[in-house]
Structure 1
Amino acid sequence: MTRLPSPASGTPSASGTPYLREEILAYYERGGENTRLAEGAGRLEFWRTQELLRRFLPDTPARVLDVGGGTGVHAAWLAGDGHEVEVVDPVPMHVERSGLVPGVTARLGDARALPAEDTAYDVVLLLGPLYHLPERLERVRALAEARRAVRPGGVVVAATINRYAGLNDTLRQGNYFRPERRERTDAVAADGRHLPSADDPDFTTAYFADPAEVPGEFDAAGLVCQGQYGVEGVAWLMGDVDAWLDDPERREAVLAATRRIESEPSLLGTSGHVLTVGRRA
């Protein structure tokens, strides 16, 4: 596979060619996105993202641009619902696989320089790109591109990883009691910047956002923020969540409980992920 060039700035070229850090590309080439949301606690993230998007998307058929759509996990059900879905992703393997999903088209592209016409879409989703843009300027640039591509009044939804998600998760797993992991985890909690390490191989270069900073980035991009929603709430931190999700009755109880606190300000940061919803005025 041809490697995408990675200049020091990490920004796309004027032509929109996607640049991806080598370690981020290598992480996604492992193929974990094929199954991550289909098993274990990842199912909670999938089901909650799905129900939130269905709440905010317009009636079918809407034209949806799924930026950083990976292997088409969400594009598949969006197309199944009757939407016209296009995936743009900087990982060639993701583009290849999402392009095989019925009703979905896919092409290589960068969130910071979208291969999209102005006002061409009813909805633009960024359910991953902001994870890997540590600099605020780059995140605002991606959001501004989403604004450019969506029609006036159209919906933009962006996902962020919460600032303390790593701290909460390493506590849950017990890894926080290893001094080297604790030091790295505390550093991420301080400034949000996660760097890959042989001691911490489960993720790659990323930015963990304070939920309170995201509306300001929407505003800087010319988007009107309309709400923020904790995806997993506190349920993802519970040791029995996998078993609960296996049981239909308990699963519905977990989803209902998470829904109840999804926008509670005092609990927003406990969720692993937050969806921020905005519109182009």
Structure 2
Amino acid sequence: MIEPEIMTYYEHGGEHHRLATGAGRLEFLRTWDVLGRVLPGPPGRILDVGGATGVYAAPLARAGYDVLVIDPVPDHVAAAGACDGVAATLGDARSLPVPDGGADAVLLLGPLYHLPERGDRVTAWREAARAARTGGVVIGAGISRFASMLDGFGKGFFAEPGYRPLVEGALRDGAHRNVADRERWFTSAYFHRPEEAAAEAGEAGLREVRTVAVEGPVWLTGPRVDEFLDDPRLAELTLDMLRRVEAEPSLLGASSHLLTIGRTA
């Protein structure tokens, strides 16, 4: 399944509240905004691969979709399965326990950055494409190659011993190796260059592939993110501005997260 270090991170609740405040809250709202524009309308079958505790699956079910979460973390499966209208099962993105062509859309919002080998990421994309119907949508999330560097300046992590080598490794080859095992530095992961995920999805056979920024540069405003989102007028403005520049190539790398979207042939 996944590396023990990564499993431990999530068993300790690394995903339970991350999307509730600050940059995580913006990530959720922007991801939801993109999903609302690219998913086929309900009802429909959605596979939420690496769907964690059901943070997206639950609102998708409320919107009228038939949602199955597939996740390698038992605690996640239990939490997601407890959400109304959501089914959940253990599984690996590289070998999905589902038949061919049964889903209208497949979400890979968690697995790709926990697969350090390119071949495994392409396999995950290929499995998602296999599980989707002809013309179905596949959406994968990645973390930007530059996220740990930008986060280090924003949160003062560079003052902590061991953080600079972690950033240098990510900048060099995309490998974010949290050997210090500090949870606030995230767990070990792979950080994509903006163009990489689209190439991987294309190699897996997806077509009409494109990548958009999730938070754009707004996540770098730190505590002010919640100020923007608490004010309905500013929240609408923030989401509108980010929507306008989400595909701007010169800004993709400044986003913490990226979404790559494709369709099955």
TM-score (normalised: structure 1): 0.91
Number of aligned positions between the proteins: 263
Match of 1:134 in 2: 116
Q: Do the aligned residues in 2 keep the contact of 1:215 with 1:225 (CA within 8 Å)?
A: no
RMSD: 1.2
Match of 2:174 in 1: 192
Match of 1:56 in 2: 38
Pairing 1:76-225 to 2, within 5 Å after superposition: 76-178=58-160, 180-198=162-180, 200-202=182-184, 203-225=186-208
1:268 aligns with 2:255: no
Q: Deviations over 1:24-79 (max 9, x none)?
A: 11000111322111122211000000010010011110100000000000001101
Structure 2 CA distance, aligned partners of 1:247 and 1:143? 38
Structure 2 CA distance, aligned partners of 1:266 and 1:39? 27
Structure 1 residues 47 and 78: alpha-carbon distance in aligned structure 2, compared to 1, 3 A threshold: same
Match of 1:241 in 2: 225
Structure 2 CA distance, aligned partners of 1:172 and 1:269? 16
Q: Do the aligned residues in 2 keep the contact of 1:181 with 1:199 (CA within 8 Å)?
A: no
Q: What amino acid sits opposite 2:258 in the alignment?
A: V
Q: What amino acid sits opposite 1:259 in the alignment?
A: R
Match of 1:227 in 2: 210
Q: Percent identity?
A: 53
Q: Deviations over 1:227-263 (max 9, x none)?
A: 2110000000013222222222222221112111100
Unaligned ranges ≥5, structure 2: none
Structure 1 CA distance, aligned partners of 2:40 and 2:195? 26
Structure 2 CA distance, aligned partners of 1:93 and 1:147? 27
| Secondary structure of the corresponding residue to residue 33 of structure 2 | helix
Q: Do the aligned residues in 1 keep the contact of 2:113 with 2:189 (CA within 8 Å)?
A: yes
Unaligned ranges ≥5, structure 1: 1-18
Q: Do the aligned residues in 1 keep the contact of 2:201 with 2:209 (CA within 8 Å)?
A: no
Q: What amino acid sits opposite 1:205 in the alignment?
A: S
Q: Do the aligned residues in 1 keep the contact of 2:166 with 2:178 (CA within 8 Å)?
A: no
Q: Do the aligned residues in 1 keep the contact of 2:169 with 2:177 (CA within 8 Å)?
A: no
TM-score (normalised: structure 2): 0.96
Q: Deviations over 1:251-279 (max 9, x none)?
A: 22211121111000000111010100000
Structure 2 CA distance, aligned partners of 1:190 and 1:177? 21
